[in-house]
Amino acid sequence: MNIAILHCLRSTRVCTGASCFKAYNNGTHAFAAYDEKPALCAFFHCGGCDMDWEKDPGMIEKMQRLQSENVQRIHVGICIGDKCVHRDKIFAMLEQYGMECVFGTH
């Protein structure tokens, strides 16, 4: 299975992604559910709070690239939590492009 991790652009001010990668590498937290370690194909950010997910050409290009890499599941980082006003739109767009969304990494 091919997966990707989506994280919050705003969180990159303080986040290195180390905890997401540690959980993936060690097969812990959200990644403990896999019998076989999936291939991590992408680590990408949301584009920011003012992004229009449905119309942004850059985000559409990202979705197409994920499809071309046969990414089947997106782990949405905990940084895109309940405070994210676009969370439902993000999930809907990922699912529209045929990718299952899983909330959480570490």
DSSP 101: E
Over residues 27-69, the pLDDT tens digits come to 999 999 999 999 999 999 988 988 888 788 998 999 999 999 9
Fold (CATH) for 2-103: Rossmann fold (3.40.50)
Model confidence, pTM:
0.93
- Within 10 angstroms of residue 16's Cβ, the number of other Cβ atoms is 8
Distances from the Cα of 84 to the Cα of 28, 40, 51, 54, angstroms? 25, 24, 12, 16
How far is the C-alpha of 21 from the C-alpha of 13, rounded, in Å?
A: 17
Domain locations in the chain as residue ranges = 2-103
Digit-coded pLDDT (tens) for 84-95: 888 898 899 999
- Quote the CA–CA distance of 91 and 69 in Å, as a whole number: 19
